[in-house]
Structure 1
């Protein structure tokens, strides 16, 4: 199969270049060919490396009613993603090779894009007790994480870092000190005070980050921090990088767009960590600009509608994000001049691959044909009823955005095409 992407704006790494691209047997070619099986006219479109999301909850096995690997990866393809890393809060949790095998079998059967699973850090994926069987899983997982739970003692985290380093794997940490939780669910700032809510304090995040930075210095392990949300966390990681610590981190669109003044009494605004202050949001944007924050992920976490319809108090933690991430960020950050398009692509497509050792990321001769075609002129209103994900709960509902996926290719195969194009 030979596909011609005709006269597109091709991402070069430093900018864009007008030219043709061919997709041949799963690889890219910049050479000229007179014959092809399919032609897509890309005169007004942008062709970029496929997006990569290193923080996604696909919910299967164990929670098929929330999301399946098939629906989650279909949603990802619609959002322009060609690869995702699947978090391990599943049933059974992937803490052994046999439990992981159940997830891998479903991925092989149903995934429409590339899925890289995480193995757990601890046996029960609860931040406590014994470590998982890291040795047995090392060749089939992208990294190790207990996402949803922070590793609660420094001794256990140090043990995990030593083991992960020996296996040449990254520890990916959800940082949350449970001794500082007070039954709350939103930031303990202006909104919490006004409406009488107890909040998840910032120190529950940055306190563990501070602890783990010292453990990184001690062990030399590679360490990646999930969904950072506080100004203190940004400052700690910035300083650690200056000191040569092997640390990377991610944030998400909802922390970059909203602050606690935007919160509503609606489950679609409930996630963990919570949306924090305007000062925290500005620190995160500054962290993107100066390289402190390496990656933008989504923390796509679908639930049934009933689980998200109990307001801020009773709703489950988590929102969906795969189908909205790029257009929301392009609209709010690039079109407003806060971030360049090239930088956004680096954060969403290039850096994730570099950190986690995935193939691709540059549109060069012979590269794997994992790519996304974007229409950056198409404006529309976010409508969750159109989502391919089973999840519908998003704080971006009703937002006017610009930027839509025209087509997504994985290994040269077209896995998504906008039916309107």
Structure 2
């Protein structure tokens, strides 16, 4: 009996040895990802993707003139498809690859072949981080579709957006979120996209609107052909945006909850502010104004979503809406610039104003999370101002280059005859030609 017992114990020890050895291995050899944080990040990423499709697609398609709905929706879908593939192949590594000079990420993660066990000092797998950041990378170019509604040629839109994602978005994401020069050397802060997403898209949209010129049919048809659908898109983008703000904490914790509360509060304040101004200026509150106010509030709070107090977030949303309304009026009535859905005014100006305001409201006395070592209001203001200026300048220059490069192969806009034919065809149930 004793020999059998010894033999049994010996066999059990041999079986258990690999498990015991694994338990004594270096902690870094095991999967250090936290399942709760990972689940939250994946959820936030999927909800964020909804912000682009169908959220922004409906938001802009509903604001097109008669006949432009399908064209805008097709553009948004094609942009999501091409930018997603580029993100997997090379976009992610340009934005978040190993830091080299601080201008672009290294190529270590091209085709997502060399991803880390976890991302940085977080507790989430880098693959989940890739998916989460993809949502931001898609929202930025889809935002720009609002600037060229009814007149940009489909082939040019797709090619330009693809090139723009590599020339503008990926480098700027690296400068601020990927350990690049703006964040590490200057101290520029952007919590959830006020600079990386809204400033790049807004400035680039203005540049494209200037390159394209005004619509030949401007004023001949209702400015918002399907306001109900546009509002539905607004609400989807609203939900997706607050999810991305919460996901930016990369953990299911108090920071995520604070970011969601602040983003929602700013969107509410932006919506009510725009409606109030509409009521005072025109005598009635309008559906497009509600949508613009929500988006302006979301843009304004993005840079500081998890860094300021809820009271400050409400102010951010109100100021973003006010700045957006004034800029829309200036561009449309004084400068005669045809940025169809006001992408520069609503997203660009909102994002830039919010990024600069962050420098003041980071102060603990105002409920902020405080400044980094060696920073105060003045130095942070300088960092935010230089960051916004550098990103805006690069977005404008690179957009001109990309736009003209693509136009050498594919015409930039439809002809006046095609524009009119596309709008007129819709009344007979025929497809619009503006997507050709």
Task: Quickly name the TM-score band, shorter chain normalised.
Answer: under 0.3
The higher radius of gyration belongs to 2
Q: Which has the higher strand share?
A: 1
Higher RCO (Cα < 8 Å, 6 or more apart): 2
TM-score w.r.t. the length of structure 1 is 0.25
TM-score w.r.t. the length of structure 2 is 0.25
Q: Which has the higher helix share?
A: 2
